[in-house]
Structures are given as structure tokens and as C-alpha cells.
Structure 1
């Protein structure tokens, strides 16, 4: 019996010894798995510091790499670490935590309650899939690139949520003047074009009337020579035309009327000017990096008093 109790006790002790222990918060970047060089740690720290200098509500971002999860799930680890570190400000719960466990090939992002509306679970999953996992392919892991991309995306989302809504844009006086000029030019061009078309129609009507009058004269002359009724033609006492010279003049007039008359040069010049002006009227109307070269020292960083996380995502890579 005593042997059985001793065995159970040893098993419990061994299990307790193997249980996951929450690491100590030493700074903004806690590279316990030794995945990053000193310069990479310093660059990540600088990015997070730059974010803290711009955020208005004291939001915090921390990075954690773990040599092992010691059999614990990544979801429980991220939640327990977040709660133990008190990331974010008290009463605001506006902390963010990025976790990588390279041995188990797990990655996670934990979001404080106060930032759930800004960075919902769907957004954290998209950051992991789009920003981190492409840089975590087995055998070609780019740990710094993946972590830097996640921090940059989270910081951008928080800062964007703090910006006041942009007022509706109003056109400036210069823009109004420019648009007025454009509209005025279009109206003027349309007016000139319509005027040119009206003049062209008037000239066409005049030509048609002149042609009809010429045809009427020609028709009357032909009727007078060949088709007029006997009662309407002057006759001599013998029934022949009284004036042979008059008949010859009529024939000459018919020939002159039927021959094309040259157009006046002035009319041609006006028409050419109208076409040129109308043609001219047509043509006349026609991710930023915040890293700096500061020291890699990250002393003095601690959780601001946040309570616990409210959401986030985790997955294999």
C-alpha cells in the first residue's frame, strides 16, 4: 500500500514539475526561445516603443517566444500569460500579446477586452494567415519578419481606431473656380457649335431656295419655248411666232440658266471658316516602419494593470 502511495506521489510531483510555468515579463520582447538576434530584438522593441508614443489610450504590445509549451495548449498559455502580465491599462484592458512556440509550431495572438471591437478574432486570424505564416514555412522560418509584420499590423489597427472620423470634404474656392471655368468653356463651346450649325442650315436653305428658283425659271422658259398653249403665245396673222429674235434670246437664256454658276468666293471663305471654327470648338471641349537606431535596452517595461484577454486566435504553422 505504501509503495502504491509513493508511486502516485512521485507521478504527481513529476507532473507538477513538467507543468507549464509562466515566464517572467522582462520587456516588450521576451525571446525565451532565442529565435532573434540582438539587433532584431532591438528593432522590434523600437517599433513597439514608437507605437506607444503615438497611441492615445496607453495600449501595450508584448512579444513572447517559448522553447516549449510543456504539453499545455497554446490557447491556455496565451490567456494565462496575458492575465499574469497585466498587459494594457487598468480599466481599459487594451493589451496585445503575440506568442510563438517553435517546437510545437504554434502561433497565437491574444487581445484584451478593450480592443475586441477594434481587433476581432477574424482580424487576428487574418494577421496570422497573411502576415506571419508565409514567413514561417518549415525549414525557411523568418522569425523576425513574421513577428515584425504582426506587431506592425496590430499597431496600425489600434492607431487607426483612435483617429477621429474625417469631416466631409468640401470643395475649395479654387476647385469651384476651376469647375466653373470648365463648365463655362463647355457651355461656350456648345453655344458656338450650335451657332455654326444654325448658320450652316441657313446657308443650306438659301442654296436650296436658289436652286428651286433656278429650276422654276428653267421650267418656265422651256414651257415658253416648247410646251406653251397656242392661246398664250403671241402669233402673227399667219400663225408663226411674231419675234424670231425673241425666241433665240429665250434659247440663249435657257442655256445660260442650265450651266453651273461659280460660287462666290466670299461664301466659300465663310463656309471654310465655319467648318474650321466648328472643328476647333469640338477639340476645345473635348506599411511605414517606425524602427529607429535606439538602444536594445528594454528595462522599465511592465504591464499597465490590464485584467485579462478577451479574444484572439491561434493556429499551427
Structure 2
């Protein structure tokens, strides 16, 4: 259904005057944070760029942050989809790209935000989850003109969801993953201390404890591992090119303020 709707929107866009067809090219040199609207300081841009570069290098998933002053006649969703396809966001064959689009509030003109997900990310970030990230993590900060905080909060949630730290359903329902995480930490600590005690008493290896470690490893392998939220910092970065993906079929959601 989403693909049909996206196709209809694309056909309708053909009737829009040519001047409204402008989707910007990536900044030069190419980067993951493209602040065309000028709402981020240099340090804030560098902090986000560092985080997103490290995430891309570790997982191959590409998250682009794009701010614009004008949507050029497009709906935020259509603008984000077209930009993702034009820029080739995501890896070829995986289409694991995400575009976080922000048009700040200017005067009486509403602010708009949209998270567009490539085909490969739609199961990780369902539409309802994308909408909740915009509503809960981004817009409250944007209303206070704290754009960096809102963007950073959204990125943190996306990274955690993609890493399997918690599911989209858990995020949607507000369930905390920490009780389970604390239990696992305690379990590991007990096994480790027991193994050390047994090793001291018997002078042997901890081989008898290996099945427990294998069990815990197999339990965690399906969820992936979270490498946390990368630290902020300033610095310069070289050019960054798209991954050759860019297949966006209508996944994502947004909001306004």
C-alpha cells in the first residue's frame, strides 16, 4: 500500500512546476550532516558527523541528517524519499539508509521533520516508531530551538533500535530494557566469580563453566550488540560518498510544530 501511495505521489509531482523540483545536491565535500538551513553550530555539526561516521564504519548503515529552509513545494515525505534516492543513501543491495529531514520553523511557517527509511530499515524502524521518534525525541527540543539536542536524541534511539538494545514495540510501549540487562550483568558476574573460585580451589580450568557462556552468547547473538552513543567532539572530516543504495519506497513518518 505504501509503495502504491508513493507511486501516486511521484506521478502527481510531475504536474508541479519545474522550479519546485529542486532537490539539493550533497554538500561539497560530501558528508552525512548537511545543514543547508544553518541551524547547527560548527561544533554541533562535527559532533553529529563524528557519531554518524563511526556508526557507518561499524555497521554500514547510513544515517543522513539534512536541514533545509524550504521544501520547494514538496511534502516532507516526498522530499526525503527523493533526496535519499538521488544521493544514494544506504549500501547497494542492502538499502539500509535513513534520512532525517528537518525544515525549521521560520516566522509563521511551521517547522517540519520527517524520518525516511530505506527498504532495508523498514522492519527495524516501522512507520509508527519513526513517528514516535519525531514526536518524543525531536519536536520537544525543536520547539525550544534546540535542534542539535533533538537530532542527537533521535539518532541515539535509531542506533539502539538497529543494534537490538530494545525492540520497536518496547520503545513504543515505553518498556525499559534495563531490568533484563541488569539481570544478564548479574548472571555473568555470578558465573565469573564462581569460575574463579572453582579455579582457585581445584587448580583446574574454567572449562566446566563454558556451556553457560555459550548459552549466554547464543541468547544474545540474535539481537546484535550496542556500541553505545559515540562521544561528541569537534574536528574536520574528509569527503564522504553515498553507499550506492537509495531505494526508498514510502517508509517513515514525520510531524510538525
Please say whether Structure 1 and Structure 2 have the same fold, judged by a TM-score greater than 0.5. yes
Shift of 1:66: 0.5
Aligned partner of 1:152 among 156, 159, 162: 156
- Measured on the aligned residues, the alpha-carbon RMSD in Å equals 2.7
- Using the alignment, how far apart are the partners of 2:41 and 2:94 within structure 1? 33
Aligned partner of 1:308 among 247, 251, 256: 247
- Give the TM-score of the pair, scaled to structure 2: 0.64
- Using the alignment, how far apart are the partners of 1:124 and 1:288 within structure 2? 20
Aligned to 1:6: none
- Using the alignment, how far apart are the partners of 1:36 and 1:113 within structure 2? 29
Structure 2's unaligned 5+ residue stretches are 1-15, 166-180, 198-226
Shift of 1:300: 2.2
Aligned to 1:128: 134
Which of structure 1's runs of 4+ aligned residues deviate more than 4 A? 168-171
Structure 1's unaligned 5+ residue stretches are 1-13, 178-286
- Using the alignment, how far apart are the partners of 2:56 and 2:78 within structure 1? 27
Aligned to 2:194: 174
Where 2:51 maps in the other structure, the secondary structure is: helix
Shift of 1:307: 3.4
- Using the alignment, how far apart are the partners of 1:307 and 1:37 within structure 2? 28
CA displacement, residues 181-225 of structure 1 (integer Å, 9 cap, x when unaligned) = xxxxxxxxxxxxxxxxxxxxxxxxxxxxxxxxxxxxxxxxxxxxx
CA displacement, residues 107-129 of structure 1 (integer Å, 9 cap, x when unaligned) = 00011111111111111111111
- Give the TM-score of the pair, scaled to structure 1: 0.53
Whether contact under 8 Å (2:43, 2:234) holds in the other structure is no
Aligned to 1:64: 66
CA displacement, residues 61-107 of structure 1 (integer Å, 9 cap, x when unaligned) = 10000010122211110110011111111110000110001144110
Alignment of 1:79-228 (within 5 A): 79-102=81-104, 103=106, 104-137=110-143, 140-160=144-164, 172=191, 174=194
Q: Is 1:45–2:49 an aligned residue pair? A: yes
Where 2:71 maps in the other structure, the secondary structure is: coil
- Using the alignment, how far apart are the partners of 2:149 and 2:155 within structure 1? 10
Q: Is 1:296–2:236 an aligned residue pair? A: yes
Where 2:63 maps in the other structure, the secondary structure is: strand
Structure with greater Cα Rg: 1
Whether contact under 8 Å (1:42, 1:296) holds in the other structure is yes
Whether contact under 8 Å (2:48, 2:232) holds in the other structure is no
Shift of 1:294: 4.7
Where 2:77 maps in the other structure, the secondary structure is: helix
Counting matched residue pairs gives 184
